Amino acid sequence: MNESLLRELVPAVIGVLVRRGADFATAEDAVQEALIEAVGAWPDDPPREPKAWLVTVAWRKFLDLARADAARRRREERIDEQRPAEPVAATDDTLQLYFLCAHPSLTPASAVALTLRAVGGLTTRQIAEAYLVPEATMAQRISRAKRTVATVRFDQPGDLATVLRVLYLVFNEGYSGDVDLAAEAIRLTRQLATRTMHEEAAGLLALMLLHHARRPARTGTDGRLIPLAEQDRGRWDTRLIAEGVDVLQAALARDRLGEYQVQAAIAALHADAATAAETDWVQIVEWYDELVALTDSPIVRLNRAVAVGEADGPQAGLAALADLDEALPRYPAAAAYLHERAGNAATAARLYAAAARAATNVPERDHLTRQAARLNTQLRG
């Protein structure tokens, strides 16, 4: 059974139920139950029209759920009387579902969870395992999110920028449990880019593809983090890189530059270099200048300082870093790297140790700790 196809049908089926009069929360529950039934039935008896099958079963599940609530009985009968003869609506509501699940009234964590379940078709258990939280905790989060958006009109205009941020959050979670969230984010972003034809949706898709292409080389067999400069570029996925570059070029040709397109352009320059030494750092700095103009983000300025250090030397990088707040995330790591390149080993070791203490994940912390230990060993020698 093609589980990817099954998940792709989820938002369209929810949309059909909502347009028939079902409330979003109950419709989403009904579709989840229909998915469970499909997993059991389809391998032995695959339907000729998968979407129509899901709509039929999900609608029946919705009516069952409505009957279970006596207060909804009159509404259920009214909806059933108005039920269209044709089981599958012609309108594709997938895009509206993206907007609803990433509604600005939701917290980022709730928007991610609701998007993965209602648009991605993942079960609560799968989402909980991916985020390393108990299933009951994730179920409560999803239930609260559905209550929050319960009064939002399904055809209300949504904010594409919010949807893109939510999908990028999903992508950056990577892999945990039995769900590859990075791959799921790419699937959903590809779907969104196709439906919107928006250059920033395409830019985010390109960025994801280019980053995902480096994934096989990002960690060693022992789980150690491998920095970009030290990665075996022969392990990068050239097919994904080619696709990412093609998507990016098409987006840039529309001449409406956005931050995801710029980030993708930087990633493409890294992907284009056969070795770390051949990286076009001058052009990367120019793209960072564009990104600073678009976002004025301190984190972007931090990354730009490192790029300046590569393009114009570590002292130039440290000068760019001096204008920034030392409390910024990863500031000590960036400063440590530039000080090491400038020959200030003792300062670099101290900063690597400070960066390790501030690291938010184990692989990064262990990498920074090893960097500090390496320099301290050299200093003692």
DSSP notation for 65-114? HHHTSGGGHHHHHHHHHT--SSSS-SS--HHHHHHHHT-TTS-HHHHHHH
Percent of the chain with pLDDT over 70: 92
Q: What is the pLDDT of residue 268?
A: 98
Q: What is the pLDDT of residue 175?
A: 57
Q: What is the pLDDT of residue 1?
A: 58
Rounded to 10 deg, the angle between the 362-380 and 345-358 helix axes is 160
Is 153 buried (19+), middle (13-18) or exposed (0-12) by CB count in 10 A?
exposed
Sign of the C-alpha dihedral, residues 208, 4, 101, 107?
negative
Q: Report the alpha-carbon distance of residue 107 to residue 29 in Å, rounded.
A: 21
Contacts of 39-44 with CB under 8 Å at 24 or more apart are: 39/1, 39/3, 39/6, 42/1, 42/6, 43/1
Q: What is the pLDDT of residue 89?
A: 46
Q: What is the pLDDT of residue 90?
A: 47
Q: DSSP label at 326?
A: T
Which among 49, 46, 118, 32 is positioned nearest to 87, based on CA atoms? 49
Q: What is the pLDDT of residue 177?
A: 58
Q: How far is CA 316 from the centre of its chain?
A: 34
Sign of the C-alpha dihedral, residues 322, 326, 329, 330?
positive
| Cβ–Cβ under 8 Å, residues 148 and 105 | yes
Task: Return phi, psi of residue 269, to 5°.
Answer: -65, -40
Q: What is the pLDDT of residue 226?
A: 95
163-208 confidence digits (pLDDT tens): 999 999 999 876 555 678 899 999 999 999 998 999 999 999 999 9
Q: Report the alpha-carbon distance of residue 209 to residue 188 in Å, rounded.
A: 12
Residues of the chain with pLDDT under 70: 1-2, 68-92, 174-178
Tokens of residue 63, six digits: 């009516």
Q: What is the pLDDT of residue 85?
A: 42
Q: Report the alpha-carbon distance of residue 232 to residue 298 in Å, rounded.
A: 31
- Topology of domain 296-381 in CATH is 1.25.40
